[in-house]
Structure 1
Amino acid sequence: MKHLFLSAALAAALLGSLTSHTPATSHTAAPVAADSPALAAMFEKYWDERAKLYPLEATSQGDNRYNDQLPNDGTVAYRATQRQFFQQYLDQVKKFDRSKLSDNDRVSYDIFLYEMQMRLEGLKQPTWMMPFNQMGGLPIGLAQLGAGSGNQPFKTTQDYDNWLGRVRAYPVWADTAISNFRRGMRGGVVLPRPLVEKMLPQLQAMVTTDPSKSIFYGPVAKFPTAVPPADQQRLTAAYQQAIKEQLVPTYQKLHDFLKNEYLPKARTTTGISAVPGGEGMYRFAVKNSTTTDMTPDQIYQVGLSEVKRIRAEMEKIKTEVGFKGDLNAFFNYLNTDPKFMPFKTAEEVLNVYRGIQAKIDPNLKKMFGRVPKTGFEVRQTEAFRAASASAQYNRGLADGSRPGIFYVPILDATKYNVTRGMDNLFLHEAIPGHHYQIALQQENTALPKFRRYGGYSVFSEGWALYTESLGKELGLYTDPYQRMGALNGEMHRAIRLVVDVGMHSKNMTREQAIEYMRANRSIDEQAATAEIERYMAWPGQALSYKIGQLKISELRQKYEKQLGSKFKLSAFHDQLLQNAAMPLAIAEKTMDAWAATQK
């Protein structure tokens, strides 16, 4: 496919050069620069080598060559290898003359250059001294893979043996993680105490004396027919042994270390600026998450003004439904009135989400010319991680072997509240949010693989939040409480700008941040606490949503104004998604070029 694409571009360029000596007429097309085979080959080599360096990432993208590998990524040697890798490709890409590249290649060149520079800058940060937290890292990731319902395939005998290879490497990884945590303890680069307290039960949940009760037993509890009976017998014994001798003792060791050694040294401060070099770490996190040069303070101001705007919209709904108290009393009513919690079982909750898909389908066709071929499912989040998980999307595979999955955490169906915004959550996490954006990107074989499978949270989260604003056009938000849910969702992302910057650069405490969140949106204390602790664990990450959404909305308004009757919403959406996720400045440049062709 790729070669066909290249040769077509080459043919166009040759045609252009053959006709360029003829006098120009209004019908003569300008010469088209050819895509560079040398640049394409470099991108291909980069992606191929990268899979070996990041085998877990490769597995998630359906590249199964390294499914038995688990690198010890906390070592000095591994960090040096990464530095060498990104530097080598930064040097290589700079050898290409950008001015001689095709428009298509210039976009890829710009993204690649940006990516290499940011990767190298990221490697200078001392985040390796905090190797995992309650939100993510290998201990949680390994359980998701090993459960048999995630990205790690369990279809053949080889797949089952591959997983054992990863398990064997886990105790060594954990020893390095403990050593890095200790380095952090000596240098004062440690996690906040409340986060460590949340990590302990997560690790303890993996400890069991009966292997068949372990989450890691999932794959041998239900073998596919492709695994012969003799192999099933051998593998069952091997998995029982791996759970007893490698997994359980490693989780126990991590738990005991965190509880006995690390917790007493964990910090009582909230934000990353409290650790040595923390201010620089936060500035990098902001730049990395937003792909902009906005300062923390500028982001904070945007947050304050968005919170104010959305509050005014919420006040209108409160008046519309005839509620008599203030906004906080209204939040309390939405949180506690039994009529907003109509569910008895988790399946009932999931069926409401499945129904939203059917409801929006007719209108989707008017707003999108291209739809993904990748399958899609709604599932309940696994019990072991549901308590600290948000609703999330897990990418499918372009070859159709794994659907995109929208995971919904349901701790107690009878307390699942419809006013939290089920319509907008589905639009964001599922269709046309993450599922459309990620699946269409992966299915676009005209892009180099680093663009097909790579990503920028500011673009993908910005897109997903932007799609929440399409609810009315898609036939949703017909009732004021679902509109309130959508405003609640948007308010949530606006609050993040205030509390993330507040905690990490303005000395706002965890408690003040929880209070600010609860004062400005309908959320219970447990959920608000989990959210605030997430921002404590991942400084800057939560900024990407609102910053990305504001940019995409701004672009839509700009082109509606510029193009007037020639603006087609479906064409705008298709073009934005066809380009794939990219830094915002590059996205704007490519969309400006598209808009110029629409005139």
Structure 2
Amino acid sequence: MTEQREQTAIDRIAEGWVDTLVEHDPTVGTYIGRPGDGLPDLSPAGHDALAADQRRTLAELLAVAPADAVDAVTRADLEAELRLALTQHDAGEHLRDLNVIASPTQNIRDVFDLMPTESEADWSHVASRLREVPAALAGYRETLADGVRQGLVPAVRQIEEVAAQARRTAGTPEDLGFFGRLAGSSATPAESAIELAAAAAGAASAYAELADFLEREVAPHAPENDAFGRDRYELASEAFLGAKIDLDETYAWGLDELARMVSEQERAAAEIVGGVPRPGIVAEAIAKLDRDASRKLHGTAALQRWMQETSDRAVAELAGTQFEVPEEIRTLECRIAPTQEGGIYYTGPSDDFSRPGRMWWSVPVGVTEFDTWRELTTVYHEGVPGHHLQIGQAVVNRGSLNEWRRQLAGTSGHAEGWALYAERLMEQLGYLDDPADRLGMLDGQRLRAARVVLDIGVHLGKRRPDGGTWDGEYAFGFLADNVNMNDGFVRFEVLRYLGWAGQAPSYKVGQRVWERLRDEAAARASTAGETFDIRAFHRDALALGGVRLDTLERALRGGLGG
């Protein structure tokens, strides 16, 4: 635990902003471990009220000078975040906030995964939040309808997929759906169970109504073109990176990086099957590994046990060597997610550590076998030294970082870039010496490089590697050629990129920044005749908590401190 730092005026503004966010969106409170059971006002009026508070907070922030280096980082980061959020609001991005992975349809459902369900009181809070679902989705429909009137409508492909998701969440008489299963898992007394079931039925009905609305009222007005276009994409990219980048240079770099990953994969594959690197050898190596029973897990229970054992071993071995792993975050829970949409993700610990950090695996329907050679690097990505160390360390630093810095600040580029950096570091530390495990890591790295090319290519209409012009349809085949996953995974991933523009490249671009900053620090040490201390570099960088990538660069180069 860090030494207690005296709270400053900027700390109070930042913590007041957390309170304001929680008031507008109680699910944020759940995410950071605060009690509560409401849902956000997703109507146009709700969005306008949030924007008004963003303007007020920005004015308060600009009126106060930083008291120290920690304040300088807080002010730079929060100012940039508020300005960008207001720009996106003024552009009407909230009027078409719909995609297959991270929009209100998913966010409302997902918050129930984080709610405690151990006691009758816990279930009472669940029931209360379930009763809020119809009003929240009614406000969301109002906002999307406003978008239709203004000609700001998401692409039809996203609308159709989200409508299908909403129907699965709602369920049918044969399949209870998410809310019905949630209510059915409760062991509360009969009267409470009846109230819970009624609330769940109301939530399910609201999701079914949303699906009808999307299909009947929004889809007929939706564009066929998946591309965001350059102006929208620049805002989305900055939001996920916390930095403005040269998109054309990054696209060209992505093509080079993808070629480099293919070359590395071919070398690793040659170690597995013998011979020399050549086209087609990666597929041969994968076929050989897929026949190796010693590298397979059967069923989600075996997957969960393996995840937990692998994570526990990494924490025990890395603590005190390459990283400082505080006692508070030496516990990481590995869980199978209650959804079956696909994807692996991390949720941070609550501010008081009563809820630990958790790694979640959402296993798609019908998937029952898992290959350890593919997934080992994923555990390092989500756990230690990846997201869990990074995000958990920020929570530990409550003595120096205000609540906004500990719990809510940061970007995908910072967090996911660190996680990819951590994967490569584990290779350098010898944890991926087995060429099969290394091939699995490289498969993930190749995917992330391909996403840079695909995402920027589609949304900016760039020239494709084969000479044509990028569009959504070409993206499916391109990704299938660059990742060794089943068709369902490829389809979900491409749909995610098409609707969540700018997020997919943030992993590889963030890794690029992290590795550049480490190399710069090593070069400075060498110039000064000193030995580079990578453990100190990691400690100082993670001590900043989550930040924008441009803030990270300024801080580690001595431009801000913190």
Amino acid at match of 1:571: A
Q: Distance in 2 between matches of 1:345 and 1:596?
A: 48
Amino acid at match of 1:470: L
Q: Which moved more, 1:495-504 or 1:249-258?
A: 249-258
Give how far 1:181 is off.
Answer: 3.0
Q: Does 2:396 match 1:443?
A: yes
Q: Distance in 1 between matches of 2:327 and 2:433?
A: 27
Give how far 1:490 is off.
Answer: 1.0
Give how far 1:86 is off.
Answer: 1.3
1:541 to 480, 503, 516: 503
Amino acid at match of 1:438: I
Larger Rg, first or second structure (1 or 2): 1
Residues 579 and 324 (structure 1), Cα distance of their counterparts in 2 relative to 1, 3 Å cut: closer
Give how far 1:266 is off.
Answer: 3.6
SS in structure 1 opposite 2:333?
A: strand
1:423–1:476 Cα contact (<8 Å) kept: no
Give how far 1:4 is off.
Answer: 5.4
Amino acid at match of 1:86: Q
Residue correspondence of structure 1 range 337-416 to structure 2 within 5 A: 338-340=290-292, 342-360=296-314, 361-371=316-326, 373-374=328-329, 375-382=331-338, 385-387=339-341, 389-411=342-364, 412-416=366-370
Amino acid at match of 1:5: R
1:124 to 63, 87, 90: 90
1:292 to 229, 232, 243: 243
Amino acid at match of 1:110: A
Q: Distance in 2 between matches of 1:96 and 1:133?
A: 38
Residues 302 and 205 (structure 1), Cα distance of their counterparts in 2 relative to 1, 3 Å cut: same
Q: Distance in 2 between matches of 1:369 and 1:343?
A: 32
Q: Distance in 1 between matches of 2:218 and 2:281?
A: 41
Residues 323 and 494 (structure 1), Cα distance of their counterparts in 2 relative to 1, 3 Å cut: same
2:267–2:277 Cα contact (<8 Å) kept: no
Q: Distance in 2 between matches of 1:511 and 1:498?
A: 15
Residue of structure 2 in register with 1:574 after alignment: 539
Q: Distance in 1 between matches of 2:287 and 2:504?
A: 24
Q: Distance in 1 between matches of 2:154 and 2:134?
A: 22
Q: Distance in 2 between matches of 1:470 and 1:461?
A: 14
Give how far 1:214 is off.
Answer: 4.8
Residue of structure 2 in register with 1:585 after alignment: 550
Residue of structure 1 in register with 2:479 after alignment: 517
TM-score (normalizing by structure 2): 0.88
Residue correspondence of structure 1 range 212-231 to structure 2 within 5 A: 213-217=176-180, 221=184
Residues 241 and 410 (structure 1), Cα distance of their counterparts in 2 relative to 1, 3 Å cut: closer
TM-score (normalizing by structure 1): 0.83
Residues 358 and 248 (structure 1), Cα distance of their counterparts in 2 relative to 1, 3 Å cut: closer
Q: Distance in 1 between matches of 2:290 and 2:413?
A: 37
Residue of structure 2 in register with 1:170 after alignment: 133
Q: Distance in 1 between matches of 2:232 and 2:75?
A: 27
Amino acid at match of 1:251: Y
Q: Which moved more, 1:131-140 or 1:282-291?
A: 131-140
**Residue deviations 1:433-467 (CA, integer Å, cap 9, x gap):** 11111111112112111101112211111111100
Q: Distance in 1 between matches of 2:25 and 2:394?
A: 20
Q: Distance in 2 between matches of 1:576 and 1:582?
A: 10
Give how far 1:296 is off.
Answer: 2.0
SS in structure 2 opposite 1:166?
A: helix
Residues 332 and 390 (structure 1), Cα distance of their counterparts in 2 relative to 1, 3 Å cut: farther
Give how far 1:528 is off.
Answer: 1.8
Q: Does 2:50 match 1:97?
A: no
Residue correspondence of structure 1 range 498-509 to structure 2 within 5 A: 498-506=453-461, 508-509=470-471
Residue of structure 2 in register with 1:39 after alignment: 10
SS in structure 2 opposite 1:566?
A: coil
Residues 585 and 159 (structure 1), Cα distance of their counterparts in 2 relative to 1, 3 Å cut: same
1:334 to 256, 279, 286: 286
1:211–1:243 Cα contact (<8 Å) kept: no
Q: Distance in 2 between matches of 1:68 and 1:596?
A: 38
Amino acid at match of 2:322: M
Residue of structure 1 in register with 2:464 after alignment: none
SS in structure 2 opposite 1:373?
A: helix
Give how far 1:221 is off.
Answer: 4.7
Residue of structure 2 in register with 1:12 after alignment: none
Q: Does 2:21 match 1:50?
A: yes
Residue correspondence of structure 1 range 3-152 to structure 2 within 5 A: 5-6=5-6, 37-64=8-35, 67-75=36-44, 77-98=45-66, 101-146=67-112, 150-152=113-115
Give how far 1:486 is off.
Answer: 0.8
Give how far 1:573 is off.
Answer: 0.9
Q: Does 2:185 match 1:241?
A: no
1:397–1:439 Cα contact (<8 Å) kept: no
**Residue deviations 1:231-284 (CA, integer Å, cap 9, x gap):** x3332111122223x2222122112223344444443222122xxxxx321111
Over the aligned positions, Cα root-mean-square deviation in angstroms equals 2.9
Q: Distance in 1 between matches of 2:205 and 2:419?
A: 40
SS in structure 1 opposite 2:238?
A: helix
Q: Does 2:512 match 1:550?
A: yes
